[in-house]
Structure 1
Amino acid sequence: MRTLCGLLSLVLVTLTGAAMAEEAPPSRVLFRNVNVFNGVDAKLMTNHHVLVEGNRIVTVSANPIGSEGAEIIDGAGRTLMPGLIDGHAHVMINAHFDTVEKDMDLGDISIRSIRVAERFLMDGFTSVRDMGGPAFALARNIDNGRIIGPRIYPSGGFISQTSGHGDFRDRADPGFSQHDGGDLSNFERMGIGNVANGVPEVLKAVRLNLRNGATQIKIMAGGGGSSRFDPIDTTQFSTEEVCAAVEAAADWGTYVAAHVFTDRAVNRLLDCGVKTMEHGFFISEETMKRLAKEGAFVVPQMWGISPDLARNPLMPAAKIPMVKALGEQYADFGEKLLKHDVKVVFASDYVGVPEDAERARRYEIWWRTQKFGGNFEVLKQLTSTAGEMLALSGPRNPAKGKLGVVEEGALADLLLIDGNPLEDISVIGGTEQWFDADPEYRPIDTLVVIMKDGVIYKNTLR
């Protein structure tokens, strides 16, 4: 009887505690006297006040807002803007390719990813779309508060055909894929990539990633510069394979993104309904017009056509002339995308040791201002346009609300900045230094408050 009474008491206490927790009012944070960049307009809304309740922005007003029960942050004329979004990163490929392939295991890259994630957030990136790698556990542990980092949109292992951009076996490895009894590459073994051929294998790979928690699917639809055996001009995956991947993703309410560079490949992808084109440097203006008409996104890492890329200490001397020539030939790529109203999203897409990736990310912010005609367009790519792209994940979207904007009802991913990023991109970390930048991570001092999902992770004004 005592045991039964004790259990009943425990149940009553638990239920009472749960009821009290449900009735507890949401936390409130009031940003006073801020100039708001809303992620959409090429101007600041001056002398505004923004109230956050729980994880939502509930009021944006030019008039004073009641502050009862709220933590007050006096912006004193600083800029309040949306949290930044990286549309294409590889949080789990956090060492050089050869090191990952030959000398690391899943434990190594998982441990290193914790530091990568924290530094992303401390650079103001509140959401990151991971475009290839086993980032599922990292995303879960960030979401449940065990690890500090941005909201992760994991793709899972990128899906490649044999001989494709995700087939990282050496020449000496067995000539068959694992499906035919061959050995797995380390990339496949760790879940960074998956080699699949034919509709049944592609469907299996897509569905496995969705089962594991993918918010979108990443396929390799063309060659690349970082893999040895697939020329960059090649088209990869047949129409049937691409369409099968798109249909399987759509069955889960989400979409397919594709690594791609050429007209032929992009048009095949559009025929099947692929939504985002990763890179895309070598496409024609006709294809750009089609991309705009169909509402697809282009997600290019613009450092890929930067003359500074040739200064990379890891760049083989034999490739330097090609890198310089491509940078010159496609120097107007960004200008043409804007001319044809293509939706463009920011991408850092640097793989390698974390310090190199961090320097590349900050350089990329600045370099894009040179290629897209100014700061405003790049800020949109980092905020509202990227938020629109993330929303394509539908029910798989970990953010249950609008991202990339400062408006009533949007999720409270917010940065308070000393300075005006519309005039000076360095206040959010943009810098023309890359390989000659400080070799170790340094905080961005002008980034004084970082809020993600209504939670403050940095506040130097306290």
Structure 2
Amino acid sequence: MKKALKLSAVALSMTAAFSANAATTIFKNVDIFNGTEEKLYEDHHVMVVDNKIAQISSKEIKAEGDAVVIDGEGKTLMPGLIDGHAHVMINYNFGDIEHNKDITDISINSITVAERFLDDGFTTVRDMGGPAFGLMREIEAGNVKGPRIYPSGGFISQTSGHGDFRDRADAGFSTAQQGDISNFERMGIGNVADGVPEVLRATRLNLRNGASQIKIMAGGGGSSRFDPIDTTQYSVEETCAIVEAAKDWNTYVAAHTFNDRSVNRLLDCGVKTFEHGFFINDDTMKRISKEGGYVVPQMWGLSPDLAKNPLMPKEKLPMVAVLQEKYGDYGQRLLENDVKVVFASDYVGANSDAERARRYEIWWRTQAFGSNFEVLKQMTSTAGEMLAMSGPRGTAKGKLGVIEKDAIADILLVDGNPLEDMSIIGATDKWFDADPEYKKIDTIKLVMKDGKIYRNEM
């Protein structure tokens, strides 16, 4: 049951708030989920000035000048959602990208990806591998509708690593051969680099292009064919060099990783976020927590529904059942070990597949973590904390993921209470059997990003 609580009025000079050129929006009569507390503040009022939340009050805020007033009676006002691990540029199936597409194809398709993210209430996305810099700039310029993007640039991988997507028939049987790169590298999705000089060059290139954080491949994976999932990738010297180069730019390194050996090496060098991490033990989890790291897992990777993926090779189907049986308590163990967890959709491929996976992921996480509130934090305040580690390299110049004074005005108005019902922000137990046609989530009534309203069905 929703708890009715009263939030004390925030002191604010009304004269200052309504300066001559202030763009002001007032939300009246809303119930607030602030991103950090497991409760709603009933019958409150929120004022946005320019791109920041200027006032939150239990008392009516009087509109002055050209203020826009939105009566949200019966609606919940909450932070915009954050996807901590997405791939807006890997927007066709791997086979198509490897053989049939070029940068124009994925760039044009990324516009649709961006629009649908924002319509689904995601006001910020951390892109974890791909040439998203141009899309980020066009969104910031107002030429494309989409979420705020925190780009990593091309993920950095060793030869034989999770980012080495060459086919068997491609050049590469001798290191002396030239031009032995995959389509992923040609388009800037990834960068294969070996040795300290090469990894430094790849890191600095991404930072030059505008990366807000650096993404490296530190272990094997399921979507790549030639790097077993149990492997540890990049040496201590290479890993530490990448981390120091990122620190020089006042940002951090994220790593694709699964096992204890890899994660502990990454921690030794100062890596801050651990993407996936399904196979780590409790001691490693405790160390991540103690050292201020974050785990960013796509929990659908441990779902039995993964076996329904039509692209899943038949020989890998038994692996899905084994993973679910052996690591099905992964979410609960993360919480028991006080690890900060961030939401991740991490689905690559055609638009409809990625959207269905994202909505399924919200629902599946409520099962894996046993709490709507925990999942909501992962999509709002905890994700905002993680993004803040980008410091001056971050796209947002202010606090994300919360409804509080002076935070960035990323705001949703939704029908219902997400603490009780996550379907109002798109959660569904259907994945590959869901309708492939994109439909807006009709319970999301308004989407504001950076103080501007992009969707309004009030």
User: Quick check: TM above 0.5?
Assistant: yes
Q: CA RMSD in A?
A: 1.0
| Partner residue in 2 for 1:244 | 241
| Partner residue in 2 for 1:329 | 326
| Partner residue in 1 for 2:48 | 52
Distance 1:219 1:434 in 2: 29
1:278 to partner: Cα distance: 0.3
Contact 2:171–2:177, Cα closer than 8 Å, also in 1: no
Distance 1:126 1:295 in 2: 25
| Partner residue in 1 for 2:60 | 64
Distance 1:312 1:90 in 2: 18
Deviations 1:351-383 (A, max 9, x none): 000000000000000000000112000000000
1:280 aligned to which of 262, 270, 277:
277
Distance 2:173 2:381 in 1: 44
Counterpart amino acid of residue 433 in structure 1: K
Distance 1:321 1:276 in 2: 29
Deviations 1:271-304 (A, max 9, x none): 0000000000000000000000001000000000
Distance 2:177 2:159 in 1: 11
Deviations 1:399-455 (A, max 9, x none): 000000000000000000001000000000000010111111000000001000000
| Partner residue in 2 for 1:84 | 81
Cα pair distance change 1:333/1:61, threshold 3 Å: same
Question: Larger radius of gyration, structure 1 or 2?
Answer: 1
Question: Which stretches in structure 2 are left out of the alignment for 5+ residues?
Answer: 1-18
Distance 1:128 1:394 in 2: 16
Please list, as runs of the form range in 1=range in 2, the aligned pairs for 1:36-435 lying within 5 A after superposition: 36-69=32-65, 70-175=67-172, 181-435=178-432
Distance 1:186 1:313 in 2: 24
Distance 1:152 1:327 in 2: 32
- Deviates further, 149-158 or 174-183: 174-183
State the TM-score, normalizing by the size of structure 1.
Answer: 0.94
Distance 1:308 1:340 in 2: 27
Distance 2:69 2:176 in 1: 59
Contact 1:383–1:404, Cα closer than 8 Å, also in 2: yes
| Partner residue in 2 for 1:440 | 437
1:181 to partner: Cα distance: 2.1
Deviations 1:152-200 (A, max 9, x none): 0110000000000000001121226888624221000000000000000
1:250 to partner: Cα distance: 0.5
1:27 to partner: Cα distance: 0.7
Structure with the larger helix share: 1
- Deviates further, 174-183 or 239-248: 174-183
Distance 1:275 1:178 in 2: 32
Distance 2:102 2:281 in 1: 41
Deviations 1:184-237 (A, max 9, x none): 210000000000000000000000000001000000000000000000000000
Secondary structure in 1 matching 2:261 = helix
Secondary structure in 2 matching 1:201 = helix
Cα pair distance change 1:163/1:273, threshold 3 Å: same
Distance 1:367 1:389 in 2: 22
- Percent identical: 71
1:24 to partner: Cα distance: 4.5
Secondary structure in 2 matching 1:234 = coil
Contact 1:122–1:450, Cα closer than 8 Å, also in 2: yes
Question: Which stretches in structure 1 are left out of the alignment for 5+ residues?
Answer: 1-22
Secondary structure in 1 matching 2:224 = coil
- Deviates further, 201-210 or 71-80: 71-80
Distance 1:445 1:24 in 2: 36
Distance 2:347 2:22 in 1: 38
Aligned length: 439
Counterpart amino acid of residue 28 in structure 1: T
Distance 1:384 1:332 in 2: 24
Distance 2:153 2:176 in 1: 19
Cα pair distance change 1:179/1:399, threshold 3 Å: farther
Counterpart amino acid of residue 130 in structure 1: D
